Structure 1
Amino acid sequence: MTEPRGWRKSTYTQQETACVEVGRVNDGAAVRDTKDRSAGYFTATGPQWAAFIDAVKNQRFE
């Protein structure tokens, strides 16, 4: 696996520090905490990430 690249955080966070960043990996995404970047990250495959985003957009976590 390659190292994640292109880390970015949501524009909704503005200047908040309690958020996550998403980076790209081969066929998916990597996610890390902006408060503790040195703690590492977890990865999801493309289909896993797409399913997560779909769940968020459809408010299945509320």
Structure 2
Amino acid sequence: MVNVAQGLAAIQKGQQLAGHFPTDAMLDRARRVLSGELSPDEAEAEINDALARIVAREKGATRDG
């Protein structure tokens, strides 16, 4: 069984040591994967959706600017 709290702490610290600072949404996604609430494939789909929204927003800003 995975200790979710320890896993999250390790993920967060590893990311910080690499110079990355995960958002609350990112850490929540990791928590849901570790706890089994979300499959890795579902997490990937969430990430892809979020990235698509960012790209669409940036494209809109580029056209408007």
TM-score range, shorter chain: 0.3 to 0.5
More strand by share: 1
The structure whose Rg is larger is: 2
More helix by share: 2
TM-score, length-normalised on structure 1? 0.41
